[in-house]
């Protein structure tokens, strides 16, 4: 579920699926898209803080949904529209990341304008461990932030990095020793006192500068094609059985 808490000039959105470490199933992603669409038109909300409950930000996408999905289903997947709606949010978005932000969870955090990492934060794109790849902008945004070498390191090996490494690589705007949430909330309050039209225009300009030449459609097409492979089926089966996958390249 998604918990919405209006504050003075800003809103806190909390991912809360304790049974799945806040994994982003379609229902939760749809709730996020709906909330962002509504808050975009709410003059009383000038910024949003996005965080996770139960000690984690989001453990990734919902494996159960991906397991039975092929490229045909993925081509008409409502998740694509949900992701687009979240990215289209025109107001400042601050992500407070404690615990894990992996796979789709990290891709969601990468859509934030300001990313705050707490002391327990660990981020990564481990999808290749499962025979698939990031499909919601992760390869593109991560490369834009950290460069080719580090993006290849994280995506091809599935490496999960800690908060200190993520800050050193330019992924985070802030890193704190304790929880990320108080710092994120202080930032949102500070932003909410600034000129809202200027903030929207400035955000749009920075997003255009940082994402204008990225190939999100190509990434998504490659992700969808992998859903029909035997390696994808083996990767997810091995994940459930808690063993090392045996990939065959087909």
Cα–Cα distances (Å) from 188 to 92, 101, 151, 236, 241, in that order, read 8, 20, 29, 38, 42
Q: What angle do CA 119, 185, 211 make, to 5 degrees?
A: 80
Residue 175 β-bridge partners = 117
Residue 189 catalytic? Answer: no
Residue 43 catalytic? Answer: no
Please state, in angstroms and rounded to a whole number, the distance separating the CA atoms of residues 242 and 245: 9
Give the residue from 127, 78, 89 showing the smallest Cα distance to 107. 127
Q: Among residues 60, 103, 105, 107, which one is catalytic?
A: 107
Residue 104 catalytic? Answer: yes
Q: Among residues 52, 60, 99, 104, which one is catalytic?
A: 104
Q: Among residues 127, 167, 185, 224, which one is catalytic?
A: 127
Residue 132: helix, strand or coil by DSSP?
Answer: coil
Q: Among residues 31, 35, 47, 61, which one is catalytic?
A: 61
Active-site residues: which are they? 61, 104, 107, 127
């Amino acid at each position: 579920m998604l918990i919405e808490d209006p504050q003075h000039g800003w809103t806190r959105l909390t991912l809360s699926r304790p049974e799945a470490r806040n994994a982003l199933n379609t229902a939760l992603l749809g709730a996020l898209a709906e909330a962002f669409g509504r808050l975009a038109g709410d003059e009383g909300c000038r910024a949003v803080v996005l965080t996770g409950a139960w000690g984690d930000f989001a453990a990734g996408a919902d494996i159960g949904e991906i397991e039975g999905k092929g490229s045909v289903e993925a081509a008409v997947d409502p998740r694509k529209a949900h992701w687009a709606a979240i990215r289209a949010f025109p107001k400042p978005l601050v992500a407070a990341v404690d615990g894990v932000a992996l796979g789709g969870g990290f891709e969601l955090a990468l859509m934030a304008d300001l990313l705050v990492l707490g002391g327990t934060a660990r981020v990564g794109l481990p999808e290749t461990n499962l025979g698939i790849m990031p499909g919601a902008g992760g390869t593109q945004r991560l490369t834009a932030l950290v460069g080719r070498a580090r993006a290849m390191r994280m995506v091809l090996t599935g490496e999960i990095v800690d908060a200190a490494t993520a800050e050193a690589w330019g992924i985070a705007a802030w890193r704190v020793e304790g929880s990320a949430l108080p710092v994120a909330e202080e930032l949102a309050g500070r932003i909410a006192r600034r000129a809202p039209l200027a903030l929207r225009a400035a955000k749009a300009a920075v997003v255009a500068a940082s994402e204008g030449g990225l190939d999100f459609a190509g990434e998504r097409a490659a992700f969808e094609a992998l859903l029909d492979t035997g390696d994808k089926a083996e990767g997810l089966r091995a994940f459930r059985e808690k063993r090392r996958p045996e990939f065959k390249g087909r």
